[in-house]
Every structure is written in C-alpha cells, then in structure tokens.
Amino acid sequence: MAAGPVLCVDLGNTRGKATLVEPGEEPRLLHAGGASELVAAVEHALGARAPWRVVVAAVCSPALAVEVEQALVAAFPSCAPVHPAHGLRLDVESPETVGADRLLAARGALELVGSSAIVVQVGTCVTVDAVTVPAVAEPGFRGQFLGGAIAPGPELLAEALERGGARLPRVEPDPEASALGRDTPHALQAGIGVGLRGTIRELVLEVAREAGLESAPVVLTGGARAFARAGLVSLGRAVHEDAHVVARGMAAELLRGAAS
C-alpha cells in the first residue's frame, strides 16, 4: 500500500501538537495548544479526509496520553494510533531513560539535513543532543544517538526564580531582553533570556566538541527556540531552524517502510 499522510501527535508537558506529514510535502501543523482540544481541531482541519497512519508520542501524564489516544481511535477507527519507532542505535549508558522526544527530534534532524547534526530543542526543557550517520550503513538503523545535555527552559527558570527568592516577582521570559536590566523584573528577564542564550551556545560547542562534530550543522526546534536563535547564529556554522523536526522523526520509519 502506498504511503499517505501520517498524523503525528506529540503530547508534551505543556501542550499538544498535531502535524500532518505527507511524502514529498512540507509538514503541516494542524493544532498546537491544549491537548483536550487536539482531536476536535484535527477533525476540523482534515474534514472528511482520514490519515493513512496515526502516531502518538507522549511525555505528558499517562492518563492524558490514554485519553487522547482513545479520542483518536474514535475519530479515525480505520487507523489505530501506534507509537513511533526512531530507527536509531543508542550509544548511551542507559538507553531506557532517554526521552522519546529527544530521539524523535534526532531522527527528524537526520531527515531534515541528511547528515550528522547537533539537535537543539527549546521548550519546557532545553535539550542539546548529538546524532551521527555512520560511515557504513547498518541494516535497521538510520543513525546513531550519542546523548547530550538537558537544561531548564525559560518558563522553568522563571518559576525557579520566583520560588527561590522571597521578594522576586514572576516575570514573562523575553528572548529579546537586554543584559543591562534597569529594575528587578528586567534584571530577571536578562538573567533568563541572555543567560539561557549563553547556556545553549556553550552546550552546543561542548557537545559538538566531545562528540567529534565540530563542523556538523545545528538543527533548532521547539516552541521557545527564539531564545537560542541569536546565540547559535553567532557560532558561524550552519543552523537549520524547523518547527516540525519531531514530527519528521515520528513519521520517518513509517514512510521509510512503505517506500522499501
């Protein structure tokens, strides 16, 4: 059976995303927001058209994941949701502890750039990971995941500062904040925005160095990726910014299997 549109549902810690990935076309975002409205939004966007396959990746609570999957079954009874395969060899000490979102982003980066890469996701957390394409192809594997680093994202930093300081206000993180804050709220925004930009930049440099990927391109994704953009551009290396990296990774093995 020829491959058709793959509906990729990514349930994160703070929101859900539904993206349609079709062979030969750019991914199309159908919904980004509350998980409870996700299935209704997808049905509205697709109309009478049903997806060829549905894949679900979840780092949210198990109860929410089950709720969304049941709603997807009811909406699209001809294609029960499956969990995506990443097709990567994991060169890490505890493979079972690596989050699916990191692995799927790594696989999506390979689909996007076709080469080894440093993968940066900026959302609730920041992850900076290394993925390589082996010199000799290995059956069943598209690439090799080498691991990386995890740091708090902008919202977590804002929450931590408010909780940790008795007189510190909660501020809205701003990727454009200047370093010279003229009052406490702006100083907090500086610490979050400028500090996070520097953190991500340094992690990219060190992860790339330790992985032997100093010249590899950077793939940037995630809802808060604006916090990393300026710092990565200043590195003077290729940066590919794409909102659909995880969705590309979710659909990759299904589409690859259909093409073989």
List, for residues 55-78, the tens digit of each pLDDT value: 999 888 888 889 999 999 999 998
Q: pLDDT of 133-171, one tens digit each?
A: 988 778 889 999 999 999 999 999 999 999 999 899 999
Instruction: Assess whether 91 carries a catalytic annotation.
Output: no
**pLDDT of amino acid 246:** 95
- pLDDT for the residue numbered 230: 94
**Among candidate residues 115, 125, 119, the one with its CA nearest the CA of residue 104:** 119
Quote the CA–CA distance of 197 and 179 in Å, as a whole number.
Answer: 11
* Residue that the structure tokens 């931590």 belong to: 160
| pLDDT (average), residues 103-123 | 97
User: Which range (12-21, 41-50, 124-133, 239-248) has the least confidence?
Assistant: 12-21
Question: Average pLDDT, whole number, for the chain?
Answer: 93
DSSP calls for 72-112 = HHHH-TTS--BPPP--EEE-SS-GGGS-HHHHHHHHHHHHH
State residue 198's pLDDT score: 97
Residue 1 has pLDDT above 60, yes or no: no
Higher pLDDT, 213 or 35: 213
Catalytic residue among 10, 91, 101, 242: 101
- Please name every residue paired with 143 in a beta bridge, in sequence order, or none if there are none: 88
For residues 116-131, average pLDDT:
96
Average pLDDT over residues 217-244: 95
Query: What pTM value is reported for the model?
Result: 0.92
| pLDDT of amino acid 79 | 87
What is the secondary structure of 192-227 as a DSSP string? HHHHHHHHHHHHHHHHHHHHT-TT--EEEESTTTHH
User: What integer is the mean pLDDT of 114-130?
Assistant: 96
The residue-averaged pLDDT of 225-234 equals: 95
How high is the pLDDT of residue 140? 82
Residue 199 pLDDT exceeds 90: yes
Give the torsion through C-alpha atoms of 254, 149, 15, 107, to 10 deg.
-10
Task: Look at residue 202 and tell me whether its pLDDT is greater than 80.
Answer: yes
